[in-house]
């Protein structure tokens, strides 16, 4: 068994849609990044790479490479799952938390869990998605950005 931890954060921008966990959670604004800036999928992918000792997202998908501009983070995560599989490791479970002030995850939680389970090739009961805020503190509390953390278990 191997355990990995991942983190990602992106600024909120005016151009939507906002993708979190492969699901549109807001149409009127989005997250700013090289790809579609899906903080949750990025945190999960980084956790998998860490658990498999395969580097990090920047190693595999450098922001300096324009081919990743507007990339679908679901495709990036699927590629990371395949990299882990190539090392003889399968995703067993994931526990993730989205940290946002105004964006609400609750109404989208089951859709996000289902999409993550599909991308990770696991049963949905092996995927936990939670949300919290920073109670008005810092860039997240000022609704300037969103972050996510994830822990994965690989076998």
**The domain that contains 91 carries what CATH number?**
3.30.1330.50
The whole-number pLDDT of residue 66 equals: 85
d(CA 6, CA 96): 9
Q: Average pLDDT for residues 81-98, to the nearest whole number?
A: 98
What is the tens place of the pLDDT at every residue in 53-87?
Answer: 999 999 999 988 888 888 999 999 999 999 999 99
The tally of domains found in the chain comes to 1
Q: CB of 39 within 8 A of CB of 9? A: yes
Q: How far is C-alpha 131 from the geometric centre of its chain's CA atoms?
A: 13
The whole-number pLDDT of residue 93 equals: 98
Q: Check residue 88 and give left, alpha or beta (phi > 0: left; psi -120 to 50: alpha).
A: left
Q: Which of 152, 154, 150, 155 is nearest to 21 (CA)?
A: 150
Domain range spanning residue 105? 2-154
């Amino acid at each position: 068994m191997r355990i990995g931890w991942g983190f990602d954060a992106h600024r909120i921008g005016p151009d939507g849609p906002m993708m979190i966990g492969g699901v549109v959670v807001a149409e009127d604004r989005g997250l700013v990044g090289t790809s579609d800036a899906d903080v949750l999928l990025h945190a999960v992918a980084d956790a998998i790479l860490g658990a498999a000792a395969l580097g990090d997202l920047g190693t595999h998908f450098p922001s300096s490479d324009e081919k990743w501009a507007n990339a679908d983070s679901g495709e990036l995560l699927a590629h990371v799952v395949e990299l882990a599989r190539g090392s003889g490791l399968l995703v067993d479970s994931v526990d993730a938390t989205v940290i946002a002030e105004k964006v609400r995850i609750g109404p989208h939680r089951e859709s996000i869990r289902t999409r993550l389970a599909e991308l990770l090739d696991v049963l949905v009961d092996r995927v936990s998605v939670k949300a919290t805020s920073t109670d008005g503190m810092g860039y997240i509390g000022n609704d300037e950005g969103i972050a996510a953390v994830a822990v994965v278990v690989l076998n």
